[in-house]
Amino acid sequence: MARLIVPQKSFHELSPVDPVLPMNCVIESSYVVDGHGEYSIRVARISNDPAFSWVITKRFREFVELDNLLKDYGFNFDLPKKKLFGNTDPIFMAERQKGLQAYLNILVQHIELCNSLTVHRFLDPNSHLISYPESALQHVSMFVRSMTDVYQIIDPLQDFGWRYDKMYFLATKTGRPKHERYLLIWCHYGLDKALHEKVIENCLKLLKSISHPLIAPIEDVYANESGILTVCRFYNRGSLKDYIYRTRPACGVYWSRYGPTITTRRCDINQIRTLGRQILEGLYFLYDNHLMYGHLHSGNILVDLEQSQTIKIVDIANVIAGVSSKYRHYFSELKYIRTLEHCDIYSFGRLLYELSTGEECPMNICTELPHIIPMPVQQILSKIFITSGELPTIEQILNEPFFQMMFLNGVERLQLTLSEKALEVFQRIRRTAEQRLENDQIKIKSAQRQSKITNHLMSAEEKLKRRREKQAKALEKQMESSFTSADTTKNVPRPVIVNPLPSTTSQQSSSPSFVSQLSSPSISVVTAASDDRNDLLSSIAEFNVSKLKKTKTNDRSAPKLDREKDIIIYQAMASSSNMPDSHSNYTEWMRNLPEYLHNVPVTKLALPGTHDSFAFRLTSQPGPDLAPVLRHLRIFIRPIIKNWSITQDKNFTGTSSLITVKYVLWTLFLLEQLRIGIRYFDLRVCCTRDKHAYSRSPFQFTHGLLGDFVRESLEEINEFLNKHSKEVILLDFNHFYDFNDQCGHDQLIHLIHEVFGKKLCTTAPTIHDCTLNYLWNHKQQVILLYEQDPSQCSAYMNRVGHFFKVCQSPWANTARVDDLFLFLDDKITTSRPTTCINVVQGQLTPDSASIQSNPFGSLRAYARESNPRLIEWLSYRQRDPSLANGVNVVICDFADQAFANAVIMLNYKVSR
């Protein structure tokens, strides 16, 4: 049953928290009450989130009672020893508090044990005041009466399963042999309940009608406002978990059968192949017929090794009741688990691990598998236990050679025919469960990130750093006070020495008056100093900042320019270009958007961008992405390579008033990318090869030839953002060359964070949360998109401030204009998800044959052909890729004001 917890900050709202999520316990204080010690414990779900926590008070005696119960189950945790006398001594209570904290830390690591009613009533007594067996018996009795006493209850099975709110009753059925037993299973609704009770009962009746050799049949169903009841045959041989733990279902309570002292067994490779293939076939049947499961584990697989069909999957009604899976806490920690099918695939990997080793996998993913796992199984697990990427489908795992070696007798792939209404109902169940899973993943990730930040800030090193900063500021204030009161201080007969870092841990306060400093503990009076030292310190005391004169610096580092010649060339180019008189509307077009768009995610806005954005000023040096053949011939065909490499003729900010002859060939002062409204930048980066230039920036842009240095170009963008605080840009780093340990992803991301600082979006959990209002309120202007596997960015993979692989950017890869727009039409006619950036690539890509037939052509010539057609094509589109013909980011080569304006104006069209 979902437990309702009162958040700390709002006592009038109730928030449901999933009881299978991990717990955290912190003993906040200990004190003496009525002659005995008590301990105040804060318990939290969702990884220390203070909004979902509560405080309990426990005596040591209650810890002892809990420990005795756990010892009966075979758990032997290290509880501090008793003490008859002096147990209220403050020093002793502090030591005991440390021991009890260690005890709780070990306890909460056993997540399945924490789901038992014993632990729940210890850590959350107020939420478990009812008697679950009595409550379940009332509902079961109502069902039995409604069936005119067809079933006769023999015995309630106490603590039969791992869920504290799921009850089991052993029964017989009228007209059936007495030795044939039935299991009546009562289950309370969970947080994923998506339907009304009547609809739920109809869904249960549909499941009852399923007949499949690998699915345990349901005999009867019942649903009311509190939960559901299902009836199935009682299998004496038990589950796959019973087989592994060498027990039977009638051998006592759950932890007596599966406790840590039980000797388990492993399955051989043939058993793993047989069981695994049959489980996959059962799952395939469910998902192929638009049903779902999401609750796969060894306890839900009935097994009889003497039968041809060895297994039967049970509890297929759990998903309709909306209860959480046993492995819910693992699903919530892995971002690539997004669907119920993903949940079952991941759970199947854990099941293979358990069959191979005889024990459950102790962590969410296992990158180093034990050697006792057969090699074919290890190969399958390596595709399931991944750190990022996409999980294989059930069908793909079925097609693995390991499972194809086995032939199944008597199992045919059956097909169900569901009505449209039934399909819609099951889709609603699926959406509800997957949406809550996504929300939990966001909450847990945010809480973990906050916990890391808190731990970092509370570390001894960080505290020392902050203390030094405060003392340095205090010292600076003291010196300023001394300088402004020189007339007073020069009459002081003895000099002083200020110690900025006193040896004591307490911070010394600074005094505004220099005279009062003589009594400060951080100041020592020197009584036996030399005359020279006295003169020096007296000079320091008489120092006055206002007496300093300004110095003139002759900067010879800038390149020598022919000023008049450069200005003449620049003015000639500017006057010959067809540029608008004013660009203020485009420079700050995001600020001027209609107010109703301020709360729309950037994934639904129309944003103009450029393809290979930094390929506007290229050197003659070959880049690592240049073909080896062209690399050797570059001396002879350098102009040809450059013509086919340059994709833009505008730099970023155009803030320089003087432009060199070489630079002006690629730059127009008033038509710069940012100033014409470009807000998305497509970037290719390589490591700097020139050792002398490495100090300027370890990274350069590249597109066939090497381009500008990354640091200098990003600093240009940063200057633009300083002047336009409401403009937001997206930097998409998607191609990386020659990266290594010294010059790699961690260093690049660090450089980006160093340049933009607080302007980077570092608080939004997902790209969909990035609205203009959200970014403006947080004073954030840069969204970093990083198209790289986060596992290769170890220092930053858990840090918000960059979004890994959140761009969908289909590439037409054609040199023909008609083919390009046929491709684009095909991609945008259907709705696309807005949980990522959707890029429309509107540029042509000449192939080698096109270049050979016209070697003196250029990408600019192709852009002249495609860009006017692209602008016309955009006039029939709208913003928001979730709509038909909707776009998000549009990019092209040689972007100009007409293109940028065509994209920006889509934000003013009424979406339909």
What one-letter code names the amino acid at 209? S
Decide: helix, strand or coil at residue 38. Answer: strand
Q: What separation in angstroms does the CA of 93 have from each of 33, 43, 446?
A: 13, 20, 34
**Per annotation, catalytic residue among 120, 611, 735, 745:** 611
**Cβ–Cβ under 8 Å, residues 593 and 907:** yes
Neighbour tally for 763: CB within 10 Å? 16
Q: Beta partners for 185?
A: 168, 230
**Cβ–Cβ under 8 Å, residues 642 and 619:** no
H or E stretch covering 773: helix 772-777
703 annotated active-site: yes
Its sign, for the CA torsion 896, 615, 657, 551, is positive
Interatomic CA distance for residues 655 and 718, integer angstroms: 12
**Cβ–Cβ under 8 Å, residues 300 and 344:** no
With a CB cutoff of 8 Å and minimum separation 6, the contacts of 641 are: 626, 630, 634, 704, 705
DSSP 235-290: PTT-BHHHHHTT--TTSSSHHHHH-TTS---PPPHHHHHHHHHHHHHHHHHHHHTT
**Cβ–Cβ under 8 Å, residues 618 and 645:** yes
Longest dimension (CA), the chain: 116
**Distance from chain centroid for Cα 628:** 39
Angle at 295 between CA 316 and CA 418, to 5 degrees: 40
**Cβ–Cβ under 8 Å, residues 874 and 903:** yes
Neighbour tally for 633: CB within 10 Å? 13
**Cβ–Cβ under 8 Å, residues 326 and 20:** yes
120 annotated active-site: no
Secondary structure of 595-609 in HEC code, one letter for each residue: HHHCCCEHHHCCEEE
Q: What separation in angstroms does the CA of 612 have from each of 252, 387, 599, 805, 858?
A: 68, 30, 30, 18, 15
Q: What separation in angstroms does the CA of 303 have from each of 100, 313, 405?
A: 41, 9, 21
Interatomic CA distance for residues 583 and 574, integer angstroms: 14
Interatomic CA distance for residues 214 and 312, integer angstroms: 5
**Phi/psi at 682 (5° precision):** -100, 120
Interatomic CA distance for residues 112 and 129, integer angstroms: 21
**Distance from chain centroid for Cα 267:** 36
Q: Residue 571 is encoded by which pair of tokens?
A: 């003015």
Tokens 């390009």, residue? 820
Neighbour tally for 604: CB within 10 Å? 20
Total residue count of the chain as it appears in this document: 912
Interatomic CA distance for residues 194 and 187, integer angstroms: 15
Task: Please report how many Cα atoms fall inside a 13 Å half-sphere around the Cα of residue 596, on the Cβ side.
Answer: 5
**Cβ–Cβ under 8 Å, residues 700 and 688:** yes
Neighbour tally for 882: CB within 10 Å? 15
Interatomic CA distance for residues 461 and 467, integer angstroms: 10
**Per annotation, catalytic residue among 128, 188, 212, 703:** 703
Which residues are catalytically annotated?
Answer: 611, 703
